[in-house]
Amino acid sequence: MERLARGGASATFPAVSTKAALKSAYVAPLEDVGAADIGFVGGKNASLGEMISVLAKAGVPVPQGFAITVPAYRAFLKANGLEERIQAALGDMKHARVPVAETGLNIRRMIEAGKWPDDVAAAVREACAALKARAGGRADVAVRSSATAEDLPDASFAGQQDSFLNVSGDDAVLDAARKCFASLFTDRAISYRDQKGFDHTKVALSAGVQLMVRAANGGSGVMFSIDTETGFDRVVLINAVWGLGENVVRGLVDPDEYVVYKPLLDEEQLVPIIEKRLGAKAIKMIYARTSDESRTRNVPTSKVEQSSFVLSDAEILKLARWAKAIEVHYGRAMDMEWARDGETGELWIVQARPETVQSQRRRGLFKTYSLKEKGRKVLTGLAVGDAIVSGMVRIVRSTSEIESFPEGAILVAENTDPDWVPIMKRASAIVTDHGGRTSHAAIVSREMGLPAVVGTRTATHVLHDDQEITVSCGEGSDGFVYDGIANFEVKDIDLGSVPETRTKVMLNMANPAAALQWWQLPADGIGLARMEFIINNVIKVHPMALVRFDSLQDQKVREQIAELTRGYDDKSEYFVELLARGIAKIAASQHPRPVVVRMSDFKTNEYANLLGGRQFEPHEENPMLGFRGASRYYSPRYRDGFALECRAIKRVREKMGFTNVIVMIPFCRTPQEADRVLETMAQHGLERHTNGLEVYVMCELPSNVVLAEQFARRFDGFSIGSNDLTQLVLGVDRDSEVLAEHFDERHEAVTRTIRTVIDAAHTVGTRIALCGQAPSDYPEFAEFLVEAGIDAISVSPDSFLSVKRTVAEAEAKYKKKRA
Summarize as ranges the residues that interact with ligand PEP (CB under 6 A): 528, 530, 601, 700, 721-724, 771-772
Name which of 229 and 700 has its Cβ closer to Mg ion. Answer: 700
Cβ atoms of 251 and 416 closer than 8 Å: yes
| Least spacing, CB of residue 601 vs Mg ion, in Å | 6
Q: Is 626 in the site for Mg ion (CB under 5 A)?
A: no
Q: Which does 355 bind (CB under 5 to 8 A by kind): ligand PEP, Mg ion, none?
A: none
Nearest distance from C-beta of residue 726 to ligand PEP, angstroms: 8
> What are residue 584's DSSP bridge partners?
none
Out of ligand PEP, Mg ion, none, which partner does residue 71 contact, by CB within 5 to 8 A per kind? none
Query: Which of ligand PEP, Mg ion, none does residue 530 bind to, with CB < 5 to 8 Å depending on kind?
Result: ligand PEP
User: Which DSSP state fits 618?
Assistant: -
Q: Mind giving me the DSSP string for 282-335?
A: -EEEEE--SS-TT-EEEEEPPHHHHHS-SS-HHHHHHHHHHHHHHHHHHTS-EE
CB of 702 to Mg ion, least distance (A): 13
**Binders of Mg ion among 342-371, rule CB under 5 A?**
none
Distance (Å) of CA 537 to CA 103, 393, 511, 696: 64, 28, 7, 24
Q: Which amino acid is at 386?
A: D
Question: What dihedral do alpha carbons 565, 568, 572, 577 form, nearest 10°?
Answer: -90
Which amino acid would we find at residue 342? G
- Kindly identify the residues of this chain, within the stretch 687-726, that bind Mg ion according to CB under 5 A: 700, 721, 724
Q: Which is nearer to ligand PEP, 298 or 511 (CB)?
A: 511
Cα-to-chain-centroid distance, residue 391? 27
User: Cα–Cα distance between 387 and 717 in angstroms, integer?
Assistant: 38
Cβ closest to Mg ion, residue 451 vs residue 721: 721
Rounded to an integer, what distance in angstroms lies between the CA atom of residue 283 and that of residue 242? 8
**Other C-beta atoms lying within 10 Å of the C-beta of residue 564:** 17
Q: Smallest distance, Å, CB 509 to ligand PEP?
A: 12
Helix-helix angle 82-95:70-79, to 10 degrees: 80
CA distance 422 to 399: 9
Residue closer to ligand PEP, measured from CB, 454 or 729: 729
Contacts of 567-573 with C-beta under 8 Å, sequence gap 24+, read 567/278, 567/307, 567/308, 571/546, 571/547, 572/543, 572/546, 572/547, 572/644
List the Cα angle 646/686/524 in 5-degree steps: 85
With contacts defined by CB under 5 A, how many residues of the chain interact with Mg ion? 3
Q: How far is the CB of 533 from ligand PEP (least distance, A)?
A: 9
Nearest Cα residue to 647 out of 585, 580, 598: 580
Q: Which of 440, 542, 591, 684 is catalytic?
A: 440
Is residue 448 within 8 Å of residue 424, measured between CB atoms?
Answer: yes
What does the alpha-carbon distance between residue 457 and residue 434 come to, in Å, rounded to a whole number? 6
Which CB, 673 or 724, lies closer to Mg ion? 724
3-state secondary structure 460-516: HHHCCCCCEEEEECCCCCEEEEEECCCEEEEEEEEHHHCCCCCCEEEEEECCHHHHH
Nearer to ligand PEP, 528 or 586 (CB): 528
- Nearest to Mg ion of 457, 734 (CB atom): 734
Residue nearest to ligand PEP (CB): 721
Shortest approach of Mg ion to residue 772 CB, angstroms? Answer: 7
**Residues contacting residue 395 through CB under 8 Å, at least 6 positions apart:** 412, 413, 460, 463, 464, 465
What residues contact residue 87 under an 8 Å CB cut-off, 6+ apart? 201
Provide the β-strand partners of residue 530. Answer: 598
CB of 254 to Mg ion, least distance (A): 39
440 is catalytic: yes
Q: Which is nearer to ligand PEP, 399 or 723 (CB)?
A: 723
Chain centroid to Cα 738, Å, comes to: 45
Quick one: 256 or 700, whose CB is closer to Mg ion? 700
Report the nearest approach of ligand PEP to the CB of residue 528 (Å). Answer: 6
Taking only Cα atoms into account, the Rg of the chain, rounded to an integer number of angstroms, comes to 32
Among ligand PEP, Mg ion, none, what binds residue 722 when CB lies within 5 to 8 Å by partner kind?
A: ligand PEP
Q: How far, in Å, CA of 557 to CA of 537, rounded?
A: 18
Cβ-based nearer residue to Mg ion, 324 or 603:
603
CB of 704 to ligand PEP, least distance (A): 11
Looking at the Cβ atoms of 381 and 594, the one nearer to ligand PEP is 594
What is the per-residue DSSP string for 319-378? Answer: HHHHHHHHHHHHTS-EEEEEEE-TTT--EEEEEEEE--SGGGSPTTEEEEEEEEE---EE
Closest approach of ligand PEP to the CB of residue 735, in Å:
11
- Given Mg ion, ligand PEP, none, residue 227, with its beta carbon under 5 to 8 Å by kind, binds none
Q: Which of 415, 399, 214, 222 is nearest to 296 (CA)?
A: 214
Binding mask 648-687 for Mg ion (x = CB under 5 A): ----------------------------------------
For residue 780, what is the DSSP state?
Answer: H
Task: From the candidates 128, 180, 646, 771, give the one annotated as an active-site residue.
Answer: 771
Shortest reach from residue 312's CB to ligand PEP, in Å: 38
512 binds, among Mg ion, ligand PEP, none (CB under 5 to 8 A by kind): none
Distance, in Å, from the CA atom of 129 to the CA atom of 122, rounded to the nearest integer, reads 11
Q: Which does 772 bind (CB under 5 to 8 A by kind): ligand PEP, Mg ion, none?
A: ligand PEP
Sequence letter at residue 814: Y
SS3 sequence of 394-422: EECCCHHHHCCCCCCCEEEECCCCHHHHH
Contact footprint for Mg ion (CB under 5 A): 700, 721, 724
List residues with catalytic annotation: 440, 771
